[in-house]
A and B are shown apart, each in its own frame.
Chain A
Amino acid sequence: MLDIFRFTPSEISILALSLKVALFCVVLILVPAVVVAWVLARKSFFGKSLLDSLVHLPLVLPPVVPGFLLLLLLGNQGLIGKYLHNIFGISLAFTWMGAVVASAVMAFPLMVRSARLAISQVDKGLEIAAQSLGAHPLKVFFTITLPLSMPGIITGLILAFSRSLGEFGATITFVGNIENETRTLPLAIYSYTQIPDGDLPALRLVILSMALALGALMISDRLERKANKNIGRHHD
């Protein structure tokens, strides 16, 4: 009776792969996204709106487009990919690392948007006050700007993590749908819906996805509250 609550080995490996890809994805984009967010929030320069648009492009394109472009660029015969493959022996296409790259490209704009909003809301007057006390601008960033924008950065991390868990189009185009290598939760659900008698296993994975998404949102809410409290901001 309780067997229906027990994960099968294949479900566990799908879940583990999905979490691995999503985790590596947020680790990969965290620093670049915060840097780009800071540049967009605080600097004005020639070509800023172009950079802004480029960063946001994956949000508005059909995901299959970035997936295909990644294949052209980073595939084993691709412009950059052939050097990675021939010189370093790294191949991204059709591997789990490629799935990380695909979901990173798709999640990057979400992370940048949250972090940018948070950074632009930090009072510049506080940064000037810190500088007047002798702090180098880089030190100001790490001691004032970054801690004060932490709630938004955490939101961005969770959004990026969830986006990565849900990534489908770019992933299947760039790295295919290979069991135990690139078949993450959404790809596995899709695969089950394509075979006879696949509805029940698909449904189990759907429920699992919903539980994961709900969990991520709840953790995000808690972390955000905590971060807000840390910077002396209170609202319910």
Chain B
Amino acid sequence: MIEVQARLKRKHFELDASLQLNQRVTAIYGPSGAGKSTLLSIIAGITQPDSGRIVIDGECLFDSQARINKPIHQRKIGLVFQDGRLFPHLTVEHNLSYALNFTPVKNQQFQLKQIVALLELEALLKQRPHQLSGGEKQRVALGRALLSSPRLLMLDEPLASLDDRLKNQILPFLKLVSTEINIPMIYISHSKKEIMQITDNLIDIQHGKVNCHL
């Protein structure tokens, strides 16, 4: 279960979120500027809210009253960004295995081999990120996030920078991950069409306001 209470006030923007998510896969939908990405970066620990509380599976990651604020690297939240953010100086293989250095073997949920097979990355392993197509990059980014054995996977518009043909190539993989892999997932998108293919659990966010129990 994921519980998020967060308030954040900026000059031209205010976020007021109250979420309780019990479904394994949830999509957050809203027009650009509605606060989707801000919400994600608050949950991930990139942005600190003015006040609030974030609890995932009973573990408190942030509590403004109790002065708890776990740093990003201790939250175990896997992120997939719109722009992939693969490490340009490492091969695909080393991008994938990057997180394995920081996870004790007994806590590793997947082996490199499994993820490579699941996402069909075998042929790409020796390549550098700049040699990949946009869709391939996102597949690697997805695999890299899974290999960090996260307790929550958050995808922030993972298809937004791809054209329709590439979108259709990667959607089956996203679908596969959402059904085959037992990790809670939050999928952020401004496209309802895209979301419909992943999940029916939809949360609407408008002008920074969201209040939802699913």
Give the number of residue pairs across the A-B interface with Cβ within 8 Å.
Answer: 68
Does any Cβ of B come within 8 Å of A214's Cβ? no
Min C-beta distance of A163 to chain B, whole Å: 28
Once the chains bind, are A131 and B88 in contact (CB under 8 Å)? no
Once the chains bind, are B73 and A136 in contact (CB under 8 Å)? yes
Does any Cβ of B come within 8 Å of A32's Cβ? no
Contact of A132 among B79, B89, B101, B128 (CB under 8 A): B79
Whole-angstrom CA separation of A144 from B85 in the bound complex? 12
Does any Cβ of A come within 8 Å of B98's Cβ? yes
Once the chains bind, are A144 and B87 in contact (CB under 8 Å)? yes
Does any Cβ of B come within 8 Å of A57's Cβ? no
Does any Cβ of B come within 8 Å of A175's Cβ? no
Does any Cβ of B come within 8 Å of A47's Cβ? no
Q: How many residues of B contact A (CB 8 A)?
A: 27
Does any Cβ of A come within 8 Å of B208's Cβ? no
Does any Cβ of A come within 8 Å of B166's Cβ? no
Q: Of the listed stretches A96-104, A108-116, A178-186, A225-233, name the one at the interface; the rest are far from the partner chain.
A: A225-233
Does any Cβ of A come within 8 Å of B129's Cβ? yes
Q: A144-B87, A148-B89 are in contact. Are A133 and B46 (CB under 8 A)?
A: no
Once the chains bind, are B76 and A123 in contact (CB under 8 Å)? no
Chain A residue numbers with a CB within 8 Å of B148 are 132-134
Does any Cβ of B come within 8 Å of A84's Cβ? no
Whole-angstrom CA separation of A231 from B91 in the bound complex? 10
Chain B residue numbers with a CB within 8 Å of A128 are 46, 72, 79, 85
Does any Cβ of A come within 8 Å of B71's Cβ? yes
Does any Cβ of B come within 8 Å of A166's Cβ? no
Once the chains bind, are A130 and B81 in contact (CB under 8 Å)? no
**Best-surrounded residue of A123, A128, A133, A148 (most CB of chain B within 10 A):** A133
Whole-angstrom CA separation of A32 from B78 in the bound complex? 34
Min C-beta distance of A222 to chain B, whole Å: 18
Once the chains bind, are A137 and B73 in contact (CB under 8 Å)? yes
Closest to A133 in B: B99
Does any Cβ of A come within 8 Å of B36's Cβ? no
Chain A, 118-161, CB within 8 A of any chain B CB: 123, 125-126, 128-137, 139, 143-144, 147-148
Chain A, 28-50, CB within 8 A of any chain B CB: none
Once the chains bind, are A232 and B89 in contact (CB under 8 Å)? yes
Q: Encode contact with A along B62-88: 1 for CB under 8 Å, 0 otherwise.
A: 000000000111011111010101011
Interface of B, secondary structure class, is: mixed
Does any Cβ of A come within 8 Å of B25's Cβ? no
Does any Cβ of A come within 8 Å of B103's Cβ? yes
Once the chains bind, are B73 and A131 in contact (CB under 8 Å)? yes
**Best-surrounded residue of B71, B72, B79, B144 (most CB of chain A within 10 A):** B72
Q: Encode contact with B along A166-182: 1 for CB under 8 Å, 0 otherwise.
A: 00000000000000000
Whole-angstrom CA separation of A128 from B80 in the bound complex? 11
Once the chains bind, are B78 and A132 in contact (CB under 8 Å)? yes
Whole-angstrom CA separation of A130 from B148 in the bound complex? 10
Whole-angstrom CA separation of A195 from B56 in the bound complex? 81
Once the chains bind, are A129 and B85 in contact (CB under 8 Å)? yes
Chain A residue numbers with a CB within 8 Å of B81 are 125, 129
Q: Encode contact with B along A181-223: 1 for CB under 8 Å, 0 otherwise.
A: 0000000000000000000000000000000000000000000
Whole-angstrom CA separation of A148 from B85 in the bound complex? 13
Once the chains bind, are A129 and B102 in contact (CB under 8 Å)? no
Does any Cβ of A come within 8 Å of B126's Cβ? no
Could you pull out 18 A-B pairs where Cβ atoms are within 8 angstroms?
Answer: A126-B87, A126-B88, A128-B46, A128-B85, A129-B79, A130-B87, A132-B73, A132-B148, A133-B102, A134-B76, A136-B73, A136-B102, A137-B71, A148-B89, A230-B89, A231-B88, A232-B128, A234-B130
Q: Which A residues contact B (CB, under 8 angstroms)?
A: 123, 125-126, 128-137, 139, 143-144, 147-148, 230-234
Contacts A129-B81, A131-B71, A133-B148 known; list 10 others, CB within 8 Å.
A126-B88, A128-B85, A132-B148, A133-B102, A134-B148, A135-B99, A137-B73, A144-B87, A148-B88, A232-B128
